[in-house]
Structure 1
Amino acid sequence: MRTYKKQIFMILLVIAAINGIRVTWNSFHQTIEQPVAAENGILDLRGWKLPPNHTITLNGEWEFYPNQRLTSVPDSALDSAPTSPVSANSGKVFIPVPGAWDQYFPDDQQGRYTYGTYRLRIFLDEPASQTLALRIAEITRASAVYVNGQPAGGKGNPSAQSESYKPGHRPYTINLPKGGDSYEIVIQAANHAGKGGITKSIRFGTLDAINQRTTLSMALQGLLSVVFLVHGLYAVMLYFLGAANKGLLYFSAVIVCAVISVLGVDDKILFILLPSMPYEADLKIVLLSYVGVVSFIPPFIKNMFPEYGQLKIVRWFAYFTSCYALFVLIAPSKYVIPSEKIFLAPILLLSVSIAVYILQAAARKQKDVFFLLLACTILGNNIVWIVAAAKLSVEMTFYPFDLIFTMLAFAAFWFRRFFKATAQTKRLADKLQLANRQKDDFLVNTSHELRNPLHGIMNITQSVLDDPVHQTSEEHRQRLEIQLSVARRMSLLLDDLVDIGRLKQNTVRLQIKPVRLQSVIGGIFEMLRFMLNGKTIELEVNISDRFPAVKADENRLIQILFNLLHNAIKFTDRGKISLDAEVVDGMAYIRIQDTGIGMDETTLQRIFLPYEQGDSTAARAGGGFGLGLSICKQLVELHSGTITVRSVLGQGSEFTFTLPAAGEDGEASEQAVPAHVPFYSYAKTAAALADEAGNRSAQGNESGGDAEHPLEAGNKPKVLIVDDDLLNLKILADILGPVQYNITTAASADEALPLVDNARFDLIITDVMMPGMSGYELTRAIRKRFSISELPILILTARNRAEDIFTGFQSGANDYVTKPVDSWELKSRVQALTQLKLSIEERLRLEAAWLQAQIRPHFLYNTINSIAALATMDLSKMQALLEEFSNYLRTSFDFHNFDLEVPVYRELSLVRSYLFIEKERFGERLQVQWELDPDLHFFLPPLSIQTLVENAVNHGILKRSRGGQVMIRIKRLAGEYEVCVSDDGLGMSEERIRQIFASPDHRGMGVGLRNTDRRLTQLYGRRLEIASAPGQGTTVRFCIPI
């Protein structure tokens, strides 16, 4: 109740405000006070000066001659005029202007064709210096003006005979002759029906003042029309852009009708723009615009508030207004004009009543309706002023602000609704997103919780199968393999749930490199054979050995192919599944075809959506959540490819996806071990690595092959496993087993630290989350005693988010494995870290003194760190880096380095390994360019080129944050080989170059520039040539005589 009273108060306040604005407007634009009005057909302005910038009205008593058409009336012919109506063809009468002339005609002429002549004489003090003019606003329905007996203008033909009568109902301006101090104004007028005569004031003044007033009025009408049309256009756009509320169309119709009425009344701008339009059309268009405004308001309000607008009267009102509009269209104007007085006012009243009723009902529950009530109130106030002005014959300058305020109130309503709907939509979207995140979090968390015990089962089963000491019977072995197969299938489903969560969070990072399809497809087919379950399906690959590599993340490519092929197997009972590929315009098109059940059009539309499956019966039989194809689509798109499907129900399906081709030079390592892919990939690649190292676990086979002999206890690497979960300790110990490693376990970090102090271990494996001291804290504590190469640490983490991995490496870890642990992944990483550690120890023992002099410790440790970091992302790159590092160490520690000269290929091998290591460490910061002549065969001092390259990299390029480029050039010249190493790094000053060659000792440079310069001088009598400038890089060259 309080809100309702507040709204009433606000409406009354607004009414008072807009009426105050209107009164102020009228006061500002009102006609200046004139001394006299027309009296007895004379306007005597002598003794009063006409203002140049204002107009006056010619209101008052005019002479009127009913049923006469006069052009001029001589003063001598004037008789005294009666003041009451006269009979036809009688003399003059005095008639008030503005006003209707109906009562001055005999009764038998009422409602029939009438005509007559108005006359007014104007007297001035002196001739005006400016052109004077008249502004005729409205004379119904035809008029002709004569000034001083001469025709001056008019509209239509006010004939004495109705047959030659032609209406012309539009405003016009009459220019008066210059130089006169008196004017006789004679106006002939005629009307065929309705109220006739001069019904609006005629304005008199200078032509400039008349034009200024007219222009202002027309500009305001144009401004108002533009404002209305813009809002109407917005409503139409909103409707067609998806709002689909008919109320918007009704609102647009109201706007259009209102604009027509504004432009069709007052100055009749619409008909000025359409001069050829007949009078009858003018009349009907304006009347229809009035009917349209009042007709469309109730349905507009009803559609905006359908719950309050279920009134039968709205429908009947629509029928009534439609019938009246039809009548206006087809009836002659002489019948239409009288009907205006009968029907228009009741229609308007009924329209407003219906609208107010609906709005009052809606306002009780919706605060936004207040703006519509306000709009209706302002519009009603404007109508009251218009009616009052018409009844009182008061002329006012066109006032647009009531209608503008009405439109602003409508706009406020729309904006309020829009913001409210937007806020509501946002709340609902937030709730949906929260529910979706909660669903995803639940699925992911559930997946993680299920994966731990599932992988525990898998690892225990695998350890039993791999145990070379306690062999099981063939029957038990087959049962264990079936159990392992079922567990792996469940693991795939859980992996899908985890992957869909990562894809939604955009946390999937690709390691793009050239990958050969031939290298991965065979393994995938082998993985899928255990899923055939006795189906008679032929698996076929039609890919040439010369098919180029594709640019892809090898792990994700395996996942894409596996999901697509697994989907084909799931929905194919018999027949063939084939895989073929071709290259078109640099893109590899990979197709997987099956002869399965196929899909209909409806299924094809949603097959790539999450949690969507094809035939429900087949889907339930095959298992799964309907995530595989959605994951495939997203992964393919991450590779800048596309995936499409064609299918015929009952005949099979064909999936085609594209990947960028790597070209002829792109080759992928077939021995590469992908990271973070399902277990089936590791089962092959990790085993292959173990076999190469000679440490593969013994496994039984159908031919009963012998198991490998376990390592002697003294030679096995010692591994300390730290985990507060005793079950996990047991599983991890079983995976690594007593055959390959000496295992020691600790249930806490506090228990592990004394073991580390009192015993020698080759590797520490620690869980991250432990009570008391976490795995991160344990790692930091161990790093206070041992460096990253002296004692590698492998952390076990339940999450593989970037911040978790970063924290582990910041703490000093060498590598990490995500829980639940996959047995082959764990074996692979443990083997890599222990072999690396043992290899470094052996090299350090043999060449400790030489390494101390030649290789900077931080280079060695950073390289090891890079190897460890690559192990977290790409084992193939780790292997490549490890191979180059081994080559670097092997070449560096080669006793040939003590020779006077070595072959250039040996030196270049060392340089290539060094640059490969640095390139892996610093990435794009280090660019390398080679310019080598073919068939280089010569000898040079050992470590000569290596020294220059290492100096260019460390002291020239890497001193800058953006890095740079080093170029190695060897060319055969006349009688000598030129060796040149240049960089675009910091450069050196001349003073610095002199210090290098002058100083007897250069700590930290190893086999430095001065050492190389001295050896070149001793052997060949040549010296190093250095060209450098600060900021411009350095070029070092020397020549070897042939």
Structure 2
Amino acid sequence: MIEVMRKTTYARLFRIVILTVLIIALIATTAGCGGQPAVASVARGGVIDLTGTSLDAAEPLELTGTWEFYWQKLVDPAAFQAGAAPAPDALIRMPRYWNEVRGKEGVFPSSGYATYHCVLQLRPGMGNLAFSLADVFSAYDLYLNGRLVLSNGRVGKEAAAEYARIIPRTVYFRPDTETLHLTLHVSNHLSRDAGIGVFRLGGEERVRRMDELSVAGDLFLFGAILIVGLYHLLLFLLRRDNSNFLFFGLFCLATALRTALMGRRLAQFLFPSLTAGIFSALEYLTIPLMVISLSAFFLVTFRIKWFRPAHYIVIGLSGVYLFFLVATPPNVSAVALSIYQTCILAFGILLVVMHVGAIRNGTRGAVGSLISFLPFFATAVNDILHYNQVINTFYMIPWGVFLLILFQAGNLAVQFSRNYRAVQVLSERLTALDKLKDAVLANTSHEIRTPLVGIIGIAESVLEGATGRVNEELARKMHIIIAGSRRLSNLLNDILDFTRLKYKELELARRPVDFKKLCDTAFLFSRPLTAGKDIVLENRIPPGFPEVAGDPARLQQILHNLIDNAIKFTEQGGVTVTAYKMGSTGWFSVADTGRGDSGGKTGPDI
């Protein structure tokens, strides 16, 4: 049996791995449709040969390869066309940040300024073209053949003179020569990533379409994730006992903020006045928020005891990272970020192990949760490696998060459906049991009423002399037996009436009723209850009081209950019934001189 369970578990895991690979391939394909370059054009020695490429028909190209790099120099762009530029300090491979490049005196520091230069050889008769720059965390100016065509922030040799913005920029132009000198003046004094990221060139329409698809994709992801987050927070407000709704909603909100910040053009619309420093801080701040909320979500969802210490360790490491992010300069926080990213990878592996253990334990929903987590974790690994320029792909984590949220929301919906079905089944069972209870009460009442009728009949026959002359003491006792039996019979009738009222089966037999005679009859049944008490029962309904339309049995039942209650709480004095007419309606009242049901109250109670 154990061997069969193991084989089943391994088969599930194998299917999960295959499905994860297919999902990652789908993410790459879908994201690739959003305008990722089909081919990378490689620069050699600072020259890119595009004479054999038709940019109007091709997807935008990434301008990779080696570019000329001038450290701590803002070389005059005109000098390159005139052939008067100095020798470069290094040839830097693009896309790569300069603080990861080794020069003659070691690795270039992140703080400083530099010039990038590259020559483009174009085919004759090129139409309108466009340059697109993304993932640039530094201030820069772009020159084409010595002419400034694009600025992002303000380049400065000192930190006080620099103003940086992290926003993708696109410039459209029509080349007037077949040789283009690309010159970039770049300065960086705040970010850990110094220099230029992804640099693309393509036909105007192709680049415009790529930008539009990028904005549409970012907007879709941001809106979808934000709505899911708000929805789960609303669920938590309605069901505060389910804290997994809270943590999942917080994870979605943190992810939505990060999606908006990573979608640079969307961020430009949402946060137009943010500087690069604040922008980077917010983007890095979302990472621990996502990690902590996701860890808490899995903790309360699967409730695995050994995972709780790991969760607290994650909170502690996130707190240390936040301290370095806020309180240390960029070069120190950059090291802290690298260490924290390593911890995130280790924590992701731990989450996979936790899911596998939950699957082996037969935990409901663990399979679906693992299927959703593996693509997310794979995209997180890709983004960390791409961010550190270990691989040259593109950021996939927004799509991974979207799939994670989609699957987890589906899991929660399934749990909701199961819980609702369980409640529905229990409700149906309770309804059936309630009907059975009513049936038992009805049958029991009928069974008890049969001997009561016999008791009342025998007692009345004794009073009438069927067994001989009745003395006063025996007559008093017979009256008590008859009154008690009738009272018990009335209680049984009340139970039957309650059942009929519940199922709307009670019917009223309306006919003219003499209310004064009805009150006399009620007093007759209730008088034995006054034995041992100094109580006077008084019917003050005036003679000739008009008849009322109603069910005499129900009216007598109501009146009898009120009179019995008045006698119960009155030790001395009287119980009085009165009636009066108000318009076309008859009213009656029962008053007593007892304490009432509020304790210590005197005077009439109605």
CA contact (8 A) 2:138 2:196 kept: no
Report the equivalent of 2:436. Answer: 438
**SS of residue in 1 equivalent to 2:51:** coil
1:937-952 equivalences under 5 Å are none
CA contact (8 A) 2:191 2:330 kept: no
Shift of 1:228: 2.0
Report the equivalent of 1:650. Answer: 600
Note if 1:72 corresponds to 2:89: no
The 10-residue stretch of structure 1 (377-386 or 119-128) with the greater mean CA deviation from structure 2: 119-128
1:884-899 equivalences under 5 Å are none
Shift of 1:417: 1.4
**SS of residue in 1 equivalent to 2:42:** coil
Report the equivalent of 1:185. Answer: 182
1:330-349 equivalences under 5 Å are 331=328, 333=330, 335-349=332-346
Q: Give the partner amino acid of 2:261.
A: G
CA–CA distance in structure 2, aligned partners of residues 392 and 288 of structure 1: 23
Q: Give the partner amino acid of 1:478.
A: R
CA–CA distance in structure 1, aligned partners of residues 9 and 584 of structure 2: 72
State TM-score, norm by structure 2.
0.86
Shift of 1:67: 1.0
CA–CA distance in structure 2, aligned partners of residues 414 and 99 of structure 1: 42
CA–CA distance in structure 2, aligned partners of residues 142 and 582 of structure 1: 94
CA–CA distance in structure 2, aligned partners of residues 347 and 496 of structure 1: 70
Report the equivalent of 1:57. Answer: 62
Note if 1:239 corresponds to 2:239: no
CA–CA distance in structure 2, aligned partners of residues 45 and 137 of structure 1: 21
Aligned-residue sequence identity (percent) comes to 24
In structure 2, which of residues 146, 169, 172 is the aligned counterpart of residue 149 of structure 1? 146
In structure 2, which of residues 281, 296, 314 is the aligned counterpart of residue 299 of structure 1? 296
Shift of 1:588: 8.3
Report the equivalent of 1:752. Answer: none
CA–CA distance in structure 1, aligned partners of residues 544 and 352 of structure 2: 79
**SS of residue in 1 equivalent to 2:442:** helix
In structure 2, which of residues 283, 287, 290 is the aligned counterpart of residue 286 of structure 1? 283
Shift of 1:557: 3.7
CA–CA distance in structure 1, aligned partners of residues 59 and 218 of structure 2: 21
In structure 2, which of residues 400, 406, 412 is the aligned counterpart of residue 414 of structure 1? 412
Report the equivalent of 2:15. Answer: 10
CA contact (8 A) 1:194 1:338 kept: no
CA contact (8 A) 1:294 1:351 kept: no
CA shift digits 1:797-850 (9 cap, x unpaired): xxxxxxxxxxxxxxxxxxxxxxxxxxxxxxxxxxxxxxxxxxxxxxxxxxxxxx
In structure 1, which of residues 236, 252, 264 is the aligned counterpart of residue 249 of structure 2? 252
CA shift digits 1:26-60 (9 cap, x unpaired): 665553447x5323323232243222573122222
1:518-533 equivalences under 5 Å are 520-521=518-519, 523-533=521-531
Shift of 1:575: 5.5
Note if 1:39 corresponds to 2:37: no
CA contact (8 A) 1:62 1:118 kept: yes
CA–CA distance in structure 2, aligned partners of residues 597 and 11 of structure 1: 75
Report the equivalent of 2:130. Answer: 133
Report the equivalent of 2:162. Answer: 165
CA–CA distance in structure 2, aligned partners of residues 361 and 81 of structure 1: 64
CA shift digits 1:454-483 (9 cap, x unpaired): 112212333444578966444433332222
Shift of 1:158: 2.0
The 1:322–1:460 alpha-carbon spacing in structure 2 relative to 1, beyond 3 Å, is: farther
Shift of 1:282: 1.5
CA shift digits 1:570-615 (9 cap, x unpaired): 344446656678999999887666665666xxxxxxxxxxxxxxxx
Shift of 1:77: 4.8
The 1:133–1:655 alpha-carbon spacing in structure 2 relative to 1, beyond 3 Å, is: farther
1:935-974 equivalences under 5 Å are none
Report the equivalent of 1:789. Answer: none
Shift of 1:525: 4.1
In structure 1, which of residues 527, 531, 534 is the aligned counterpart of residue 532 of structure 2? 534
Report the equivalent of 1:1025. Answer: none
| Larger-Rg structure | 1
* Structure 1: runs of 5 or more not aligned: 83-90, 600-647, 657-1042
The 1:241–1:58 alpha-carbon spacing in structure 2 relative to 1, beyond 3 Å, is: same
Shift of 1:256: 0.8
CA contact (8 A) 1:133 1:175 kept: yes
Q: Give the partner amino acid of 2:230.
A: L
Report the equivalent of 1:721. Answer: none
Q: How many residues align?
A: 598
CA–CA distance in structure 2, aligned partners of residues 655 and 333 of structure 1: 82
**SS of residue in 1 equivalent to 2:485:** helix
CA–CA distance in structure 1, aligned partners of residues 546 and 251 of structure 2: 68
The 10-residue stretch of structure 1 (288-297 or 191-200) with the greater mean CA deviation from structure 2: 191-200
Report the equivalent of 2:264. Answer: 267
CA–CA distance in structure 2, aligned partners of residues 288 and 10 of structure 1: 36
In structure 1, which of residues 287, 302, 318 is the aligned counterpart of residue 315 of structure 2? 318
1:915-934 equivalences under 5 Å are none
Q: Give the partner amino acid of 1:493.
A: L
CA contact (8 A) 1:579 1:591 kept: yes
Shift of 1:289: 1.0
Shift of 1:451: 1.1
CA–CA distance in structure 1, aligned partners of residues 581 and 107 of structure 2: 96
Report the equivalent of 1:218. Answer: 215
Higher relative contact order (CA closer than 8 Å, sequence separation 6+): 2
In structure 2, which of residues 205, 208, 213 is the aligned counterpart of residue 208 of structure 1? 205
Q: Give the partner amino acid of 1:205.
A: G
State TM-score, norm by structure 1.
0.52
* Structure 2: runs of 5 or more not aligned: none
Report the equivalent of 1:115. Answer: 113
In structure 2, which of residues 447, 451, 454 is the aligned counterpart of residue 453 of structure 1? 451
1:573-592 equivalences under 5 Å are 573-574=571-572
**SS of residue in 1 equivalent to 2:180:** strand
CA–CA distance in structure 2, aligned partners of residues 179 and 543 of structure 1: 115
The 1:38–1:545 alpha-carbon spacing in structure 2 relative to 1, beyond 3 Å, is: farther
Q: Give the partner amino acid of 1:374.
A: I
CA–CA distance in structure 2, aligned partners of residues 126 and 584 of structure 1: 106
Q: Give the partner amino acid of 1:213.
A: M
